[in-house]
Amino acid sequence: MKIYKAYAKVNIFLKITGLRGAYHEIISRFVRVNDLYDELSFLPKTSEKFEIHGDFSCTIEQNTIYKAYFALKCATESASLEKLMRTHGVQVKKAIPAFAGLGGGSSDAATYLKMCNEVLHLGLSLHELAKIGLKVGADVPFFIYGYDAANVSGIGEIVEEFQEDLLDLETFTPKLEISTPKVYSSYRANFYAPINAEETENFKTAKSIDILKTMSANEANDLFAPALKEYQELQQFYQDGWHFSGSGSSFFRVKEK
């Protein structure tokens, strides 16, 4: 059975540009982490219920793969999709930590959508898959497109490839589960200071390596300060020269030669 890789990502920078209802609009540079990925495959089964096999702490209904299945089923009304999931489960070999700001759940969902599209010959374009993926989570479209690096804006639905050499990154994830909604709520209540159009353009055109060399974790990521406020134990894991991914709890840096 073919194995599909669901890669992790880091946010080189993440800046808030405004609000859209309950959501925060962002500009962020997503970069793939080449040596950190989950492995997904379809596994024959006898039970007709939806099955996901892997090291997950959530219920099946909360799992992003199940949400991706439901979104794909609603979008396509595909009988072959329902048949596939009656006869096969999804095997997931987890390597990306959960609640870590590395996009593991979003990457799994995106990879599942691409698996179904390929195996069932659904003929959906990447853009169509990204629209379906957005119903599952804001980060899913980035993983659908499969870019090495991209500027991601809006609430995650605008993904523009950024051409640069892929950085060789290492990550460190403390044993600390961080709630993304809690961090964003704290940002809005205590730190809200969106950047302007000129600053946004400067971030969009800067090379990732230059951001990492010239900015601290706090300067590059608007969610670092609220994460520290809500999870004060995070401070003990922060080391100079490391950056903060998403809403955390992971830190990353370019590997030392």
| From 38, 108, 139, 222, active-site residue | 139
Q: To the nearest whole number, what is the mean pLDDT of the chain?
A: 95
Alpha-carbon gap, residue 164 to 167, rounded angstroms = 9
* Region for residue 166 given its phi and psi (left: phi exceeds 0; alpha: psi -120 to 50; beta: otherwise): beta
SS3 content of the chain, % helix, strand, coil (to 5): 40, 25, 35
Token pair of 221 as six digits? 């990521």
| Cβ atoms of 149 and 32 closer than 8 Å | yes
- Percentage of the residues of the chain whose pLDDT score is greater than 90: 88
| Cβ atoms of 173 and 249 closer than 8 Å | yes
- The pTM of the whole model exceeds 0.75: yes
Alpha-carbon gap, residue 171 to 36, rounded angstroms = 9
Local confidence band at 59 (pLDDT 50, 70, 90 cut-offs): confident
Determine the distance from the C-alpha atom of residue 155 to the mean position of all C-alpha atoms in its chain, rounded to a whole number.
12
Strand, coil or helix: 2: coil
Cβ atoms < 10 Å from Cβ of 23:
13
Local confidence band at 156 (pLDDT 50, 70, 90 cut-offs): confident
Alpha-carbon gap, residue 115 to 2, rounded angstroms = 10
Q: Is there a cis peptide before residue 249, judged by omega within 30 degrees of 0?
A: yes
| Cβ atoms of 166 and 31 closer than 8 Å | yes
Domain with CATH 3.30.230.10 in the chain: 4-161
- For residue 248, give Cα distances in angstroms to 55, 103, 185, 205: 20, 10, 14, 24
Considering only CA atoms, give the Rg of the chain.
Answer: 18
* Residue type, position 120, single letter: L
Domain with CATH 3.30.70.890 in the chain: 169-254
Local confidence band at 205 (pLDDT 50, 70, 90 cut-offs): very high
Alpha-carbon gap, residue 63 to 14, rounded angstroms = 25
CATH class of 169-254: alpha beta
pLDDT at 56: 86
* Residue type, position 235, single letter: Q
Active site residue 2: no
| From 9, 15, 67, 114, active-site residue | 9
Closest CA to 98 of 51, 55, 35, 34: 55
CATH architecture of 4-161: 2-Layer Sandwich (3.30)
Local confidence band at 98 (pLDDT 50, 70, 90 cut-offs): confident
Alpha-carbon gap, residue 106 to 123, rounded angstroms = 21
For residue 153, the number of C-alpha atoms closer than 13 Å in the C-beta half-sphere is: 13
pLDDT above 80 for 244:
yes
Nearest-5° angle of CA 161, CA 96, CA 121? 60
Active site residue 9: yes
pLDDT above 90 for 224:
yes
pLDDT at 256: 78
